[in-house]
Amino acid sequence: MKLEQVEGYEYIEGGVCAAAGFVSGGCNCGLNPDKAKNDLGMIYSERICSTAAVYTTNKVKGAPIVITQKNLEATGGKARAVIVNSKNANTCNADGEQKAWRMCELAAQQLQIDPREVVVASTGVIGQVLPIEPIEEHIAQLAADLSPQNHEKAAEAIMTTDTVKKEAAVSFKIDGRTCRLGGMAKGSGMIHPNMATTLNFITTDAAVSAGMLQKALGEIVKITYNCLSVDGDTSTNDMVCVMANGAAGNTEITEEGDAYESFKTALYLVMLHMTKMLAKDGEGAGKLLECICEGAPDLDTAITAAKSVIRSPLVKCAMSGADANCGRVLCALGYAEADLDVHKIDVELASAKGSVMVCRDGNGLSFSEDEAAEILAEDEIKICIQLNQGNAKATAWGCDLTYDYIKINADYRS
């Protein structure tokens, strides 16, 4: 996957521990019967962190979401730790909030912090009671093993149907001070825009106030995770959480300006990279799809149009079959909830193998089917839409729809 390059920003290793002062770990506590797979993860910063989060907009909210929201409200956007499990979403259970709070207490006890300084998250099956004993029994071991080297263990602990772990990090400068920002993500199916997104934890050693951190997160999530669709379904447990501990020593960012913009670019690069990783690892995905919509009257129209195309099951099937069916793209633009003149639209399909114009002024074009099939046989496809109705531009990310998506989800709980 090609990484977007911006001068002054360097991609580095380290994931959620790339930033100074963060340690993490992960283990198998037994929620996952496969002992080789981690199911419990922790992140910790001794320095208190400004903490911002966005959550799913699903009305069925996981109990951990409810507890995390309460905690961050109580502390005014401060936290020191994250505790997270996979395999069980702790959602739609009568004792869900009690269990989520118990997870905070267990983590806090080990780290000798206030349980309200803990962010809690769960992902997995909905509607099954979360057994707390495996977590109680393994929390000490997990806390004892925390280290800056163990970022991969934490990244593995949040994987569900993910086939690869997802980490990204950059280093950059604010006030001449070197800062780092990195994160980890999980999420493969049940990922859809309009909603928070997926489970993501991002840490930085830059000093940023809780308010400016929340503002930056809101701006960047709109053009990254919220432009990602795997299947149009929206999870009950999704959360993106950013923690800033200030260990880099820059003057705390408390208002807009150059420092804020520099920080936001770092956040954008990491979230963009993780968005593309999430799309490419969508459940059953064979191809990464990128829909670039240009020439829109405004940003919201560009986003709506790009997302409508990326979400369409028929577009996704056509791309799976390397079928340059421009009708599927136009149809999805036609039902997008945006004010578009469909008679002005041009569509081009592209990959590393070249590009082919399939539609001009809303009308299908003749093209070499052989050439088109060769272009679409690649595993990263760009659907380039020119609306010819303005200057705004947006990109949405997704994947093709394949047999494996159905295989994975026909019997998800087993």
Q: What are phi and psi of 271, to 5 degrees?
A: -70, -35
- Rule CB under 8 A: say whether 65 interacts with a second copy: no
Binding-site member from 85, 123, 161, 325 for a second copy (CB under 8 A): 325
Please name the residue ranges forming H helices in 5-95.
63-75
How far is Cα of residue 349 from the mean position of the Cα atoms in its chain?
Answer: 25
204 vs 389, beta carbon nearer a second copy: 389
Q: Which is nearer to a second copy, 15 or 295 (CB)?
A: 295
Q: Please identify which residue in 59, 133, 176, 370 interacts with a second copy, judged by CB under 8 A.
A: 59
Contact 46, 21 (CB under 8 A): yes
Q: Applying CB under 8 A, what is the total number of residues that bind a second copy?
A: 65
Q: Is 401 in the site for a second copy (CB under 8 A)?
A: yes
**3 state DSSP class of 322:** coil
Are 308 and 314 contacting, i.e. CB atoms less than 8 angstroms apart? no
Give the tokens for residue 282: 């969508």
Residue 203 falls in the annotated catalytic set: no
Sketch the per residue contact string, 346 through 385, with a second copy: x for CB under 8 A, - otherwise: ------------xx-xxxxx--------------------
Of 34-42, 146-154, 202-210, 333-341, the segment contacting a second copy by CB under 8 A is 333-341
| E strands, 205-353, in order | 228-229, 239-244, 288-296, 346-351
For residues 268, 159, 166, 332, the Cα torsion angle rounded to the nearest 10 degrees is: -60
Q: Which of 91, 160, 161, 197 is catalytic?
A: 197
Q: By C-alpha distance, which of 166, 155, 403 is closest to 285?
A: 403
Scanning 115-123, 147-155, 207-215, 319-327 for contacts with a second copy by CB under 8 A, the matching segment is: 319-327
CB 304 within 8 A of CB 297: no
Among the residue ranges 31-39, 215-223, 252-260, 323-331, the one whose residues contact a second copy (CB under 8 A): 323-331
Angle at 235 between CA 233 and CA 239, to 5 degrees: 135
In the region spanning residues 72 to 101, those forming contacts with a second copy, defined by CB under 8 A, are 89, 91-94
Q: What residue ranges bind a second copy (CB under 8 A)?
A: 57-61, 89, 91-94, 125-129, 189-190, 195, 231-236, 311-314, 317-318, 320-321, 323, 325-328, 330-335, 340, 342, 358-359, 361-365, 401-403, 405-414
